[in-house]
């Protein structure tokens, strides 16, 4: 069993557990005194304000904030102490949407989505909808956390689920520092389990992708170079294979914002994000083709806005009243955290965008 | 006027050197960018060389910049420290090899 490193901000009753406090920090200081431009004024420079939603391609559903890990940089502030879990009733409302959506990708996330007691039922039902790419974001260690999860690889295979898993580095020290003691060894074991049934193998249709996000206050390097280094190290050290690596930038919210402030890196990090601003990335930023659904069924432009409690700017607010036509063309709700998705080659749940 | 010779915030202003001589500034940054592109050496190898040289040159801006660059590329602290020892070995070797000149001089002036 993986040891948990810390408690969530919520459990610690930290100021930063409140989304309005996070938004306040992101709007004040260097952005208020004009040292750095706000995201709104930056995208206005290249005539990209207001940012508008295009046709929906990805439906991302957060089935709960409960997790067996307490990763240092988690933007969800997930952990074993979080009790927000999607009910079967909300899942049924999601299923209606999944059956009727024009989206080609269904993306289940959490917390550890597998910890939702209705997760398997939901996957079985959702898989029947015939969505082209059905993603489950698995933290890997859940597969080894308890006997009842040991058959998850087989379950994923049965429903042709595309597994996307976090792996901050190919070395134990850096991975455990970010994700908790013992996470690296357990993740390696879980990857071996997935490889053993065909996941991630070169000619296999069973997709296994890894997500890299930096272990500290710096931006990710080139995705292709990192993928090469990850592949080389994981093959040489553990004989593990996977398909693609998605390099994701840490957004300055929740526990990562807490870390940036505590380590006195906040201002430098925001400078780095703003300096790396890439207008090309804005064109393909994920909120323009994604809808994020929270555990209680509310709709957001992305998972980050969900955590900041910034709902979609639309008449439609809840999955029960979902209407793709009404959501298309909505103005995306933005703040300074959005710089995280437009830095360098950009960042999304599917990696770089530019 | 600042009271210290080095201010970390000055690194962000590096590009401003072009303001007082645009042509040479532009040429320098173009050259700099080209040097660090992937070539016969990988960008990762170049980053480690730059980190070692940053230390032998004792440039605090370069040390900050190439430590961060290394982290972004997934370079480990063990690799970084090994690169530094290469720089340190050359630096100390360069000092000690001059010892031959000292020995030559002693032998000439006060030899057996």
Domain that holds residue B26: 14-110
Q: Which residues on B lie below 8 Å from A220 (Cβ)?
A: 72
Question: Residue A297 has what pLDDT?
Answer: 98
Number of domains in chain B: 1
Chain B nearest-CA distance from A26, in A, is 20
Per-residue pLDDT, averaged over A241-263, amounts to: 96
Indicate yes or no: CB of A218 within 8 angstroms of CB of B68. yes
Q: ipTM score of the complex?
A: 0.81
Categorize the per-residue pLDDT at A35 as very low, low, confident or very high, splitting at 50, 70 and 90: very high
Percent of chain A with pLDDT strictly greater than 70: 99
User: Percent helix, strand, coil in chain B (nearest 5)?
Assistant: 80, 0, 20
Give yes or no for residue B79 having a pLDDT over 90.
Answer: yes
pLDDT (tens digit, 9 = 90+) per residue, A12-34? Answer: 999 999 999 999 999 999 999 99
Tokens encoding A74: 């988690």
Residue A224 has pLDDT above 50, yes or no: yes
**Cβ(A95)–Cβ(A319) below 8 Å:** no
Counted domains in chain A: 1
The mean pLDDT of A128-136, rounded to a whole number, is 91
Substitution target in A30, A222, A277 with the highest count of B β-carbons within 10 Å is A222
Q: Is the pLDDT of residue A47 over 70?
A: yes
CB nearest B76 (choices: A171, A214, A221): A171
Per-residue pLDDT of B53-70, as tens digits, reads 999 999 999 999 999 999
A348 lies in some domain: no
Whether the Cβ atoms of residue A118 and residue A88 lie closer than 8 Å to each other: yes
Closest CB from B44, B68, B74 relative to A169: B74
In angstroms, the CA A313 to CA A299 distance is: 9
- Residues A135 and A106: beta-carbon distance below 8 Å: yes
The arithmetic mean of pLDDT across residues A226-238, rounded, is: 97
Q: What is the helix (H) or strand (E) element at residue A210, kind and residue range?
A: strand A208-212
Taking alpha carbons only, the member of A30, A93, A56 closest to residue A289 is A56
CATH at residue B40: 1.20.1290.10
Residue B5 is assigned to a structural domain of this protein? no
Are B71 and A214 within 8 A, CB to CB? Answer: yes
User: Residue A130's pLDDT band (boundaries 50, 70, 90)?
Assistant: confident
- Whether the per-residue pLDDT at A2 is higher than 60: the answer is no
If one counts every other C-beta atom within 10 angstroms of the C-beta of residue A51, the result is 20
A142 touches A68 (CB < 8 A): yes
Q: A203: Cβ–Cβ under 8 A, 6 or more apart, which residues? A: none
Given B12, B74, B76, which is nearest A221 (Cβ)? B74
pLDDT band for position A4 (cuts 50, 70, 90): very low
Tell me if B29 is assigned to some domain: yes
- Name the average pLDDT for chain A: 95
Share of chain A above pLDDT 90, in %: 92
Rounded to an integer, what distance in angstroms lies between the CA atom of residue A9 and that of residue A346?
A: 28
CATH number of the domain that residue A285 is part of: 3.20.20
Indicate the residue of A212, A216, A225 with minimum beta-carbon distance to B71: A216
**Mind listing the pLDDT tens digit for each residue in B91-105?**
999 999 999 999 999
The tokens describing A203, both together, are 């000619």
Does A352 reside within a domain?
Answer: no
Structural domain contains residue A350: no
Q: Which residues contact A219 (CB under 8 A, 6 or more apart)?
A: A249, A272, A273, A276, A343, A344, B72
Residue B69 in any domain: the answer is yes
Q: What pLDDT band is residue B3 in, cutting at 50, 70 and 90?
A: confident
Q: What is the spatial order of strands in the sheet that A299-300 belongs to? A: A245-247, A208-212, A162-166, A133-137, A105-109, A58-62, A290-293, A299-300
**A254 is a domain residue:** yes
Identify the pLDDT of residue B1: 65
* pLDDT value at A3 more than 80: no
Q: d(Cα A97, Cα A292) in Å, to the nearest integer?
A: 13
Give A276's Cβ-side CA count (13 Å radius).
23
Q: Residues A63-118: pLDDT tens digits?
A: 999 999 999 999 999 999 999 999 999 999 999 999 998 899 999 999 999 999 99
Contacts of B13 in chain A (CB under 8 A): none
Which residues of A lie inside 8 Å of B (Cβ-Cβ)? 169-171, 174, 212, 214-216, 218-222, 225-226, 229-230, 271, 275
Q: pLDDT value at position A354?
A: 82
Domain that holds residue A186: 15-341
Is residue B44 situated within a structural domain?
A: yes
Quick one: pLDDT at residue B51? 98
Model confidence pLDDT, tens digit, residues A264-320 = 999 999 999 999 999 999 999 999 999 999 999 999 999 999 999 999 999 999 999
Chain A to chain B Cβ contacts (< 8 Å): 32
Domain membership of residue B7 (yes or no) is: no
The pLDDT score that the predictor gives to residue A167 is: 92
């Amino acid at each position: 069993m993986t040891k948990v490193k810390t408690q969530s901000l919520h459990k610690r009753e930290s100021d930063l557990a409140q989304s309005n406090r996070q938004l306040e920090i992101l709007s004040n200081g260097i952005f208020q005194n004009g040292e750095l431009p706000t995201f709104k004024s930056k995208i206005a420079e290249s005539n990209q304000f207001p940012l508008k939603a295009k046709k929906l391609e990805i439906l991302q559903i957060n089935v709960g904030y409960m997790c067996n890990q307490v990763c240092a940089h988690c933007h969800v502030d997930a952990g074993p102490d979080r009790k927000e879990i999607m009910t079967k009733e909300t899942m049924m409302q999601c299923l209606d949407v999944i059956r009727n959506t024009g989206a080609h990708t269904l993306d289940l996330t959490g917390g550890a989505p597998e910890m939702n007691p209705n997760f398997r039922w939901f996957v079985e039902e959702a898989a029947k909808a015939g969505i082209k790419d059905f993603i489950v974001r698995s933290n890997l260690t859940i597969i080894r956390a308890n006997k009842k999860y040991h058959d998850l690889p087989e379950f994923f295979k049965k429903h042709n689920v595309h597994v996307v898993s976090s792996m901050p580095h190919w070395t134990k020290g850096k991975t455990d520092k970010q994700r908790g003691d013992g996470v690296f060894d357990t993740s390696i074991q879980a990857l071996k389990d997935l490889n053993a049934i065909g996941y991630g193998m070169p000619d296999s249709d069973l997709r296994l992708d890894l997500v890299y996000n930096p272990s500290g206050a710096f931006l990710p390097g080139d995705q292709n170079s990192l993928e090469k280094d990850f592949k080389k190290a994981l093959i040489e050290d553990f004989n593990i294979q996977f398909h693609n690596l998605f390099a994701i930038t840490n957004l300055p919210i929740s526990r990562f914002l807490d870390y940036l402030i505590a380590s006195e890196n906040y201002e430098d990090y925001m400078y780095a994000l703003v300096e790396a601003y890439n207008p090309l990335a804005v064109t393909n930023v994920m909120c323009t083709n994604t809808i994020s659904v929270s555990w209680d069924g509310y709709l957001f432009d992305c998972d980050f806005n969900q955590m900041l409690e910034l709902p979609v700017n639309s008449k439609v607010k809840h999955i029960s009243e979902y209407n793709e036509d009404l959501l298309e063309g909505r103005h995306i709700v933005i703040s300074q955290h959005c710089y995280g998705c437009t830095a360098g080659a950009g960042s999304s749940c599917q990696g770089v965008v530019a | 006027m600042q009271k210290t010779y080095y201010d970390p915030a000055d690194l962000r202003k590096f590009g401003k050197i072009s303001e007082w001589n645009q042509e040479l500034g532009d040429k320098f940054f173009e050259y700099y960018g080209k040097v660090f592109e992937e070539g016969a050496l990988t960008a990762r190898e170049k980053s480690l060389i730059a980190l070692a040289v940053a230390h032998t040159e004792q440039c605090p801006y370069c040390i900050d910049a190439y430590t961060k660059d290394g982290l972004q590329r997934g370079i480990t602290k063990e690799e970084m420290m090994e690169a530094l020892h290469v720089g340190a070995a050359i630096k100390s070797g360069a000092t000690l090899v001059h010892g031959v000149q000292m020995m030559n001089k002693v032998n000439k002036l006060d030899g057996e």
